């Protein structure tokens, strides 16, 4: 049989196949094939056998069309890429205007992570009911220029929820962002009854309290799935080289071949077409600064 892994509990994976859920474990031969990599991830399409009362056995994993991973887990030769979820279409990056404060660099970092994993990106700026100083029009202009939709929302007063529903419809989306920005609250607004846990913000740190770290595909009534990532710590980048980083800044694309040096890093070289474009106002300052910061962090 073939099905989709919709959640995992320790060694057991729940596979949805033709409307029924099957508890399955991963057969040894699958584990051997992939050694240290994640053998089975939530979102995978798998072939499995199921007899009598189960548990069933996962025999094979279909190739993944996209993936969202955590930086390598473990140290040295024990390090491996942990896939959190596979085969989803888009990453919905949730931030807030305040509590916690807006962090554009994090946004840019997650957009890179989305592109690296083969996902589209969308941005939600939540808590617009709160007093803040974020220039929302400017943020929309920046991301509009790279075709990343920006939705401003409030889970408290309902602003933007209709728009959010629209971008989620018929797609599979993973919600990421700092804890406390309102991911679970927004999803509960999109579809009451999803029953996602929401956390309290502790006043001392402004950081949300962790509730759970279970990754699960939740079906939406209007079609599609959403994946919440409660309690997931802010994600680093993995497996990206300094040289490839430029490819995840689509606004650099028209310029990178025009630089004097083939190996131009666009950070300090003379006759760099990217820096030229920046000076002429064709690339946004904030985005360029994020690029340089990420470039240095990857060094």
CA distance 88 to 39: 17
| DSSP assignment string, 159-224 | TTHHHHHHHHTTSEEEEES-TTSSHHHHHHHHSTT------PBPTTT-PBPP-----EEEE-TTS-
Q: Which does 264 bind (CB under 5 to 8 A by kind): ligand GDP, Zn ion, none?
A: Zn ion
Residue 140 C-beta: closest distance to ligand GDP, Å:
18
Which does residue 217 touch among Zn ion, ligand GDP, none (CB within 5 to 8 A, set by kind)? none
> What contacts 2, CB < 8 A, 6 or more positions away?
17, 45, 46, 47, 48, 62
Which of these segments, 9-17, 50-58, 116-124, 274-282, binds Zn ion (CB under 5 A)? 274-282
How far apart are CB 186 and ligand GDP at their closest, in Å? 7
CB of 296 to Zn ion, least distance (A): 15
Could you tell me the smallest distance in angstroms from the CB atom of residue 292 to Zn ion?
A: 12
Rg (CA), the chain: 21
* From candidates 91, 107, 274, 278, binder to Zn ion by CB under 5 A: 274
The CA-CA-CA angle for residues 162, 169, 190, to 5°, reads 45
266 binds, among Zn ion, ligand GDP, none (CB under 5 to 8 A by kind): Zn ion
- Residues 23-42, one symbol each (x = binds Zn ion by CB under 5 A, - = not), give --------------------
Q: Give whichever of 184 and 265 is closer to ligand GDP, judged by the CB atom.
A: 184
Residue located via tokens 């009911």: 129
Binding Zn ion by CB under 5 A: which of 122, 164, 190, 264?
264
- Closest residue to bound ligand GDP by CB: 182
- Site pattern 214..253 for Zn ion (x: CB under 5 A): ----------------------------------------
State which residue, 67 or 266, has the beta carbon closest to Zn ion. 266
CA atoms within 13 A on the CB side of 130: 17
Residue 49 neighbours by CB under 8 Å, 6+ apart: 1, 56, 57, 59
**Residues interacting with ligand GDP, by CB under 6 A?**
126-127, 129-130, 154-156, 179-185, 198-201, 208, 230
Structure tokens at 168: 């989620």
CB of 54 to ligand GDP, least distance (A): 33
Question: What is the smallest separation between the CB atom of 288 and Zn ion, expressed in angstroms?
Answer: 11
Cα–Cα separations (whole angstroms), residue 23 to 57, 164, 226, 283:
9, 32, 21, 50
Closer of 38 and 154 to ligand GDP (Cβ) = 154
Nearer to ligand GDP, 29 or 209 (CB): 209
Nearer to ligand GDP, 72 or 103 (CB): 103
């Amino acid at each position: 049989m073939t099905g989709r892994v919709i959640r995992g509990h320790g060694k057991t994976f729940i596979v949805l196949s033709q409307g029924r859920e099957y508890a399955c474990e991963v057969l040894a031969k699958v584990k051997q094939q992939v050694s240290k990599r994640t053998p089975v991830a939530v979102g995978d399409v798998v072939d499995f056998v199921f007899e009598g009362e189960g548990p069933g056995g996962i025999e094979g994993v279909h190739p993944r069309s996209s993936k969202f991973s955590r930086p390598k887990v473990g140290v040295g030769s024990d390090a491996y890429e942990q896939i959190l979820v596979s085969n989803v279409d888009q990453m919905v990056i949730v931030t807030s205007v305040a509590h916690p404060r807006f962090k554009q660099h994090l946004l840019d970092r997650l957009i890179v992570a989305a592109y690296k994993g083969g996902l589209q990106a969308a941005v939600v700026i939540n808590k617009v009911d709160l007093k803040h100083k974020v220039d929302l029009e400017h943020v929309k202009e920046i991301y509009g220029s790279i075709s990343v939709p920006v939705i401003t929302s409030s889970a408290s007063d309902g602003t933007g929820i209709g728009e959010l529903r629209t971008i989620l419809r018929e797609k599979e989306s993973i919600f990421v962002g700092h804890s406390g920005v309102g991911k679970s609250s927004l999803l509960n607004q999109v579809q009451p009854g999803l029953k996602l846990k929401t956390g309290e913000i502790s006043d001392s740190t402004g950081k949300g309290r962790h509730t759970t770290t279970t990754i699960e595909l939740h079906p939406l009534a209007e079609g599609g799935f959403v994946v919440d990532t409660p309690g997931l710590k802010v994600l680093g980048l993995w497996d990206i080289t300094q040289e490839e980083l430029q490819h995840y800044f689509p606004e650099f694309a028209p310029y990178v071949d025009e630089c004097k040096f083939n190996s131009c890093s666009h950070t300090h070289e003379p006759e760099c077409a990217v820096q030229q474009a920046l000076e002429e106002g064709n690339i946004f300052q904030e985005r360029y600064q994020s690029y340089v910061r990420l470039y240095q962090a990857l060094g």
